[in-house]
A = this chain, B = another copy of it.
Amino acid sequence: MILGAIEAGGTKFICAVADEQFNVTERITIKTTDPETTMTQVVDFFKQYETDLAGIGIGSFGPIDAKTTSPTYGHITSTPKLKWRNFDFLNFLKGYFDIPMTFTSDVNASAVGEFHSVENQEVESLVYYTVGTGIGGGAVQKGELIGGQGFTEMGHQLIKRHSDDDYEGTCPYHGDCLEGLAAGPAILGRYEIEGKDLAEDHAYWEILAYYLAQCAVNTTQFYTPDKIIFGGGVMKQEHLFPKIREQFKALNQDYMAVGDLECYITGPSLGDDAAVLGCLEMIKAALSDA
């Protein structure tokens, strides 16, 4: 039995096949262009394994419709990538492979992947955020995704503005929500350079840490997780972690007991492999339930 995984990102797709112990035997990367070009390569990849392929787990960029009872279940919905808007991802694939598939957001897949990683064996619940071109979040409690059949969007939570920050925010829906103030494009929008080119001692990093610390405070109060993981491009700036922890401490005022902050607010343990593992976990679970 072979398990398939598709991490469908906004810039690249990763397709992988693995055995039941999640040992990945082959993986490829495909550029995200338009549905026809990209998906043809996806189909070609999995066709090689068709005889033994038991199911495919999908974690997609969004917004998506992940509600199994919805008529547009399995679609990418109102994405700014116009070519992908309203693309019926799941049924397109089902046209080529008549096997079980799971469909969730890429960040939910990463959250599930991290939850099942070796490092998090003792963890009963965790929340995974990706801070990159946008901010997405996925929350797992006892192996189950919070948000039920839908998917959570806590990247757009409303938070307090830093007193030194008057940037209007990039979010087309909310302006200065968390994503609008703290994702990668908000750095470019403020300083006309990318985060990776901003000096480590630039005052912005404390502002960003203040926003991400608020995110961690709210996350703690909404979910009381065992761990909050921040991944994604912006978090490659590792100096952010101690800054976030420090501001979390100042904001939390010991109100919520979270244990050792070094363990509580941390980077991903799987690097960029979390989403693929999460897709594999989800399709395996679905196959076992069936």
Q: Is A159's CB under 8 angstroms from B160's CB?
A: yes
- In-complex Cβ contact of A141 among B148, B224, B253, B255 (8 A): B148
- In-complex Cβ contact of A152 among B151, B153, B222 (8 A): B222
Q: Please indicate the chain B residues that have their CB under 8 angstroms from the CB of A148 in the complex.
A: 124-125, 141-142, 224
Of A95-103, A213-221, A235-243, A282-290, the one contacting chain B is A213-221
Measured between alpha carbons, how far is A114 from B22 in the docked complex, in Å? Answer: 41
Is residue A154 within 8 Å, beta carbon to beta carbon, of the partner chain? yes
Is residue A161 within 8 Å, beta carbon to beta carbon, of the partner chain? yes
Chain B residue at minimum C-beta to C-beta distance from A150: B224
Chain B residue at minimum C-beta to C-beta distance from A172: B253
Is residue A251 within 8 Å, beta carbon to beta carbon, of the partner chain? yes
Copies in the complex: 2
Q: Is A221's CB under 8 angstroms from B156's CB?
A: yes
Give a binary string over A144-185; 1 marks a CB under 8 Å from any B CB, 0 the rest: 101111111111111111000000000001101000000000
Is residue A223 within 8 Å, beta carbon to beta carbon, of the partner chain? yes
- Most interface-central of A125, A148, A153, A224 (chain B CB within 10 A): A224
Is residue A193 within 8 Å, beta carbon to beta carbon, of the partner chain? no
Is residue A188 within 8 Å, beta carbon to beta carbon, of the partner chain? no
Q: Is B159's CB under 8 angstroms from A159's CB?
A: yes
- Interface residues of A, CB < 8 Å — how many? 40
Q: Is B253's CB under 8 angstroms from A147's CB?
A: no
Give a binary string over A122-145; 1 marks a CB under 8 Å from any B CB, 0 the rest: 001100000000000001011010
Q: Please indicate the chain B residues that have their CB under 8 angstroms from the CB of A161 in the complex.
A: 160
Q: Is B218's CB under 8 angstroms from A157's CB?
A: yes
Q: Is A153's CB under 8 angstroms from B221's CB?
A: yes
- In-complex Cβ contact of A157 among B125, B146, B147, B222 (8 A): B222
- In-complex Cβ contact of A221 among B157, B176, B221, B252 (8 A): B157
Give a binary string over A2-20; 1 marks a CB under 8 Å from any B CB, 0 the rest: 0000000000000000000
Is residue A263 within 8 Å, beta carbon to beta carbon, of the partner chain? no
- In-complex Cβ contact of A146 among B217, B223, B252, B253 (8 A): B223
Measured between alpha carbons, how far is A150 from B142 in the docked complex, in Å? Answer: 13
15 contacts between A and B (CB under 8 A): A141-B146, A141-B147, A147-B224, A152-B221, A152-B222, A152-B223, A153-B220, A153-B255, A154-B221, A157-B218, A158-B214, A158-B218, A158-B251, A159-B159, A174-B253
Closest 7 CB pairs of A and B: A150-B224, A173-B255, A153-B221, A147-B224, A173-B253, A222-B222, A154-B222
